[in-house]
Structure formats: structure tokens, C-alpha cells
Amino acid sequence: MNVKSIEKLELNKVLAAVSEYAATEGGKAEILACAPSQSVEEVRRRLQLTAECDKLLYVVGVGKIEPFRDISDALKRAEKGSALSCAELLDGAALLRAARVAYISVEKADESIVEVRKITREIYFDKSLEDDITEKIISVDGVSDYASDRLYGIRSRIRSLNARIREKLSEYVGDEYGAYLQDGIVTMRNDRYVIPVKAEHKNRVRGFVHDRSKTGATFFIEPEYVLELNNELIALTIDEREEVEAILRALSKRLGALSEYLVKDTALLYELDALYAKAEYGYAHRCVMPKINGRGYIEIIKGRHPLIDADKVVPVSVTLGKEYNYLLLSGANTGGKTVTLKMVGLFCLMAACGLFISAVDGSSVAVFNKVFCDIGDSQSIEESLSTFSSHMTNIIGICDGAGEGSLVLIDELGGGTNPDEGQALAKAVVKHLIECGSRGIVTTHFTPLKEFAYDVGGIENASMEFDSDTLKPLYSIKIGLPGASNALAISRRLGMNKQILELAESYLSEGARSFENVVRRAEESRIQAERKLAEISSLKAEWEEKVAQANAKIDELNREKEKINRSARSESRRIIADRCEQAEEMLAAIEEIFKKEELKEADLIAARTIKNKIKDGVFDEEGDARKIVDFEPVTVHNICVGLQVYVKPMENRGRVSAYNPKNGEAEVECGSIKMHLKLKDLLLIGNCDEKPKNVKVVKKLPRSSPLLEINVLGLTVPEAIYEVDNFIDRAVTDNLEEVKVIHGVGTGKLRAAIAEHLKKHKNVESFRVGKYGEGETGVTFVKLK
């Protein structure tokens, strides 16, 4: 890769921003040293690693790499037998812990984590050594009392001996010798307990002088009777130091034995830290994983340059590499041409480093083996290069090095010199770059170069949109149409003298003036057409939404209608079944009377009673034939108890047994069934059987609880089928979803017959036998439509 081009495209700044998310210094160095790959497979692997780390962080909930220091030098010393310090051993424990956590957290993830798992499975860790270090080393300069039994014993004796010596010296201080002391305190010199004695009384205290104050007024004397105790304390202190060194040496030896594995762990953890940092950067900047190809195809959808403030950056979409290999990008200054140029190159480099790009999902970038760019002013005083010379030096290098698999980005090709020579040179360079098979974007203000793009294959004009009314750029690329530079219009908006502008227009060639005017008018027409199209699309979407809502409402009404019809049919069937049952009872009673040889008066009364029942149950056929539209609606003004009404939902006659004028509800008897209905569902077809003064007001109309199960044990198959049919009809009316039929186990004949009948039932969606604890094969659960 061309180093200068990478710097021009500011990949180093992006990598520096990514490195801020790393948890370790080694991870930061890994990111800053990352170089774009030229292999399609390697780039895909890098992006897959970043994608898996993104999933681990934000889906699985894995933590990042735990911080640790590089202890490579300490490991080399430990491997050679040196004892490490407490701080170095704690750093070793931190490395072991980071390795263990990284390995376990990835192993717990699902099988979709493939590439990261390949890294973590090479990690080595030793939980036992990690625990021993953290338990025995309590600080960067301290070993725990419990690091060994011997150390615990030594330190216990030291504490006891310290207490005894202080106690002895405290007695001395409070004794008759107290007047000889400078201060009533016990202190230490040369690791031995002493007392401060005034200089004039130093001969009155028997003991050994260890030190004298700077002023000479105080001597620090060790009394004779604590000499042996101090000697014992010194000996114990030496024993303690030796035991601590032995503990540190043992731990260092164990750590040194793992030197080779831990050095490898360090490199693997740095790599993982860098990957997690890339994933975190992508998440923080709303980046997506781009599609990768090796065919030079680029499609960036609403890309945002990552180094521009997120509140100020304007998304831009760019397509390159399918129907045309080069874009000739023109348009007004400050319109975003250079930013777009840099963004395209930077996105390709970011993807090649395994970084997600700040665009919309579905974006694609290509992997290039070389990236060339000439952007900005690169004049050099030391090398005596002017702006044009520096510019042409880069162009020469690009022309010599570009070929298949190269991406070329040139800003203002041919600028900085005579326009005629500059545009001629620009045409030649563009033609050469197209013929050598490279891909790229070139920006220009040259009108002849825009015309040239129409005549040469492999290159397409494109323009950065510009609002001619406000004279402000719209930061949007339009393919197929060159853009006007609008230099005079912008100068006019900025306040340039009108006479100067008119003079400038007179200097324009006729061809240039004509071309710019055509381009400007075409651009204005296109913008107006797109605005109209946007308005039409908005209206179309609005009407499509309204039509969808209307269709949904129609479907809902049809479902409600079907539900009401199904409920009405079920209720009608129940009424018919009740009537048939009553008729069978009456016929059976009549047959019993006719069987008697001699009829008594009681039999005649019974027969008359049956006759009256039959008469009461007969409907007026003539009244049934009357059209519903001729009936008068029932209102709170004409309703009364005993009123003969037509029930619209049931398509049947009934009688009002009670009503509530406040709620607009009534209780209606249809044969043996009582229903609670709204007045709007009733039509007046007869007069009241009772006077209005006897009207009964219903405060709350009771409703019977729906039955959830039926027991057909002991019934024959026909009887059971009949009962099950009535039960399902009522369940449908009550809007139940599932009911239970209890038929027992027995021989299984009844269960099989019911199951066969349920298969053909129009109101049954599915059925099953009971599970364990539900009655098993003795019950059948029925799910209703």
C-alpha cells in the first residue's frame, strides 16, 4: 500500500480513535500498527472477527479483556531462576486471570462464534497458580501471614515479642528513670527498640548507645534488660525475610515454568483486545459490516465520514465499479466533492483493516492491492516543488503504478496551470487510467473534461447537487449528469461587485456559457422533478395506508358477521333441540295415556294440560311471514313486560320479561331460553300481555356461567353424540376456545365414536386426549374455531 496515500486518507487518525477503546497498551499498539490487507479472504476473516466480537460484547454480554501489564522481561528472569517481586507476581496473576476470563467467556458463547474461538482455544491459563499468587501476595510489597505455616508462626512470635519489649520499655519510661528521658516514648534505631535519653543523663542509664540526635541533646539507648529480646527480634526478622524470599522464589519458579505459554498468551490477548476495541468503535459510531468483493465494486449507502462531527456530517451515497469504472465528479465548491473522495478511499482501507464503516447496512466495498490518491496542496519548499509540480509528481507516480486492482482518487486533476493545457492533460490521464483497468474517482471543474466523459467508455459524469435558489450545496451525488461550478453565482451571493460579474460573464466563451447554462437548467429541472416525485410518492404511500386500513376494517367486519351468524345458528339449533325434547316428552305422555284401558278424569286433565302446552308453543305462522322491515323498532317509550318482539340476531320471536330503560337493555324469553339484549336488536310485533304499571325494572341482568366440560359417562353412543353436539354449540355461543368431554376409559368404543364425530364437526378446529394429570384417555379436550 502507498504510505502517503494512506496518510492523505487519514487512516492513521481513525486507527488512533479506535485505539482509545483498547484496555491494554499492547492492544493499542496492535491497532496503531494495523496495515490494510490486500487479500479478500483475509479481509473477510478480519471483518468476521470484528462481527463476532460485536456479538460477544452486545448480545452475549461478554466483558472486554481485563487489564494487565506486559511481564515478558520478568518472565525471562523467572525462567532463569530469579525471584520476582510482589508487584511482578501480582502482574503475573493479572495476566493469568485475563487469559482465563477471555477463554471461559468465549467458550460459553454459542457455536456461531467460530473465528474468535480459534484464538481463545490457544490460550493457556493456570487457575491454581493464579489463586496461590492472589492469596499469598496481598499487595505490591506485602506477603500474607498465611502464605505458609512457618511464616505465620514467625510473625506470631514477632508480634508477641514486640508487645513484650514495648511493655518492658513502658515500665522503664514510667519508672524512676522517667526524669532522664527526653520524651516519654519508645522508638527504634537500627531495627532495635531504644529510649530517648537526655545527654546529661546518658551515664545514668545502663545500656548500648545506638544513635544521637543532630543537636546532640538526645541519645538513643538500648537498655541492658531488653538486649536479649531485641536480639531475638532481629533473628526472627531475618527468619521472616528468608521465608518471604522462599515463598516469592517458589511462586516465581512456577510462573517461570509457564514463560513460553504466557508470552504467547500476551500476544493473543493483545490481539483480542484490539478486536474488541474495533467492535466497540463500530458500535459507538453506528457502523455496519460491509460486503466485501475483489471485483472493484463499491456501493456506499448513506456513508458518513468518520472524522467529521456526527452532528454536522451529511450522508452521501456512491456507486462505482459495475457499469463504469470511473466517476468524474463535478459541482460547486464546498459541495462535498473532496470529502466524498476521501470517504470512498478511507472506507476501503478501514474494511481492509477489519473495521466496520459508518454507512447503512447493505453497503459494499472492494479490496484493492494498491490505493493512490492526490488530494490537497503538497508543494515543497525544500524540494523546490510548486503546487502544480508536486501535483504532477503524484500523477506521474499514479500513472506508472496503477493497474488492475488499483483504486485511484484524484482531486482537481489538471488544476494549477493553464486551463487549456490542464484539461488536455486531464483527458489523457483519465483515458490512461481507464485503459489500465483501475477504478477511481476524479473531481474537476473543467467543462471540456465533463464533455469528454460523455464520449469515452468506462467513465460516468456525476455531480454534487446544488440548490440554485439558496446557492447552497445539498451534499448528494447524482450519477449521469455533470454539475455546474456556479462560481459566478456564488461570488454574487458573497457580495462581489455587479459590474465585475457582468464583465466576467462577457469573458466566458460562447461554448462554455452555453454548456454551463444547459447543465444548470437541467439540474434545476431534475431537482424540481424529484421534489414532485417525492410529493407523489408521499401521497401514494398515504393512500396505500388508507386502503390497507379500509381492507383491514372490512375483514374485521366480515369476521364479526361470521361470528354473529355462527352464534345465531348455534342458538337456533339449541332452540330446535329443546323443542324436539319437549315434543318427545309430550308424545311420551300421550302414549302413556293411550295405553290405559280406562281413562279417568285425571287422565283427561293431563291430556288437556298437554294440549295447552302444545298450543302455547305454536308460533303464529302468519306473523312469521311478515317482513321485518314492516315491524316497528322497540324504544324506551313503547316497551313493556309481556311485549311480543322479533329478535333480529336470532331471527326469532320472543317475549319481554323485564327491561332496564336506563341501560337500554331487556330480558327476552325465546321459548325456554332467556337472553339479555339491547333495545336496538328488537322489533315490536305484538301488544303487551300486562299493563305498564306492572313493569319490572331489572337493575342488573344476570348471565349464566358458561360450561367448560360435559360428562357423558353411561350414555349410549347416539345419546353421547347428541349431548356433545348441544354442548359444543353452546360453547361456541359463549365464545369459548377449549372445552372438555368426559367419556371414561372403558372399552374405548365411546371415545372412538366421539373422536370420529369431532373430525367432521364444522365448529371443531382440533382435539386431543388428556395428558398425565388431566384424565389421560378418559377425557378429550376440544379446541373450537
pLDDT tens, residue by residue, 538-563: 888 888 888 988 888 888 888 888 88
Q: List, for residues 154-205, the tens digit of each pLDDT value.
A: 999 999 988 888 877 776 666 666 666 767 677 778 778 887 888 777 776 7
CA distance 158 to 244: 14
| Residue 449 cell numbers, joined | 473534461
Tens-digit pLDDT profile for residues 599-625: 666 666 667 667 666 655 544 444 443
Residue 341 C-alpha from the chain's centroid? 32
What percent of the chain clears pLDDT 70, i.e. is strictly above it? 82
* Model confidence, pTM: 0.61
**Bigger pLDDT: 228 or 280?**
280
**What CA–CA distances, in Å, run from 462 to 222, 422, 445, 520?**
96, 20, 12, 14
Phi, psi of 633, rounded to the nearest 5 degrees: -65, 145
User: Would you state the pLDDT for residue 354?
Assistant: 95
Identify which of 346, 412, 345, 403 has the alpha carbon closest to the alpha carbon of residue 375.
412
Q: What is the predicted pLDDT for the residue at 672? A: 61
Q: Which pLDDT band, with edges at 50, 70 and 90, does 685 fall under?
A: confident
Q: Is 456 exposed, middle or buried (0-12, 13-18, 19+ CB in 10 A)?
A: middle
| pLDDT tier for residue 207 given thresholds of 50, 70 and 90 | confident
Q: Sheet with 364-366: list strands edge to edge.
A: 291-293, 364-366, 298-303, 316-320
- The 10s digit of each residue's pLDDT in 718-770 is 888 888 888 888 888 777 888 889 888 888 888 889 988 888 888 888 898 88
Q: Which of 155-164, 344-353, 435-444, 559-568 has the lowest mean pLDDT?
A: 559-568
Of 238, 440, 441, nearest to 330 by C-alpha is: 441
| Chain length of the chain | 785
d(CA 49, CA 243): 48
Tell whether the torsion through CA atoms of 572, 574, 580 and 585 is positive or negative. Answer: negative
8 Å CB contact between 484 and 331: yes
Q: What integer pLDDT is reported at residue 197 of this predicted model?
A: 80
Contact 423, 430 (CB under 8 A): no
Q: What is d(CA 212, CA 221) in angstroms, rounded to the nearest whole number?
A: 9
Alpha carbon distance 463, 139 (integer Å): 66
Tell which residue, 440, 110, 114, 130, has the closest CA to residue 265: 130
pLDDT above 60: residue 512: no
Backbone phi and psi for residue 335, each to the nearest 5 degrees, phi listed first: -90, -5
pLDDT of 703 higher than 60: no
What confidence category does residue 384 fall into, taking pLDDT thresholds of 50, 70 and 90?
A: very low
Indicate if the pLDDT at residue 133 is higher than 90: yes
Q: What share of the chain is helix, strand, coil (3-state, %, to 5)?
A: 55, 15, 30
Distance CA 201, CA 591 (A): 144
Q: Which residues pair with 689 in a beta bridge?
A: none
Cell numbers for 290, please give them. 460491509
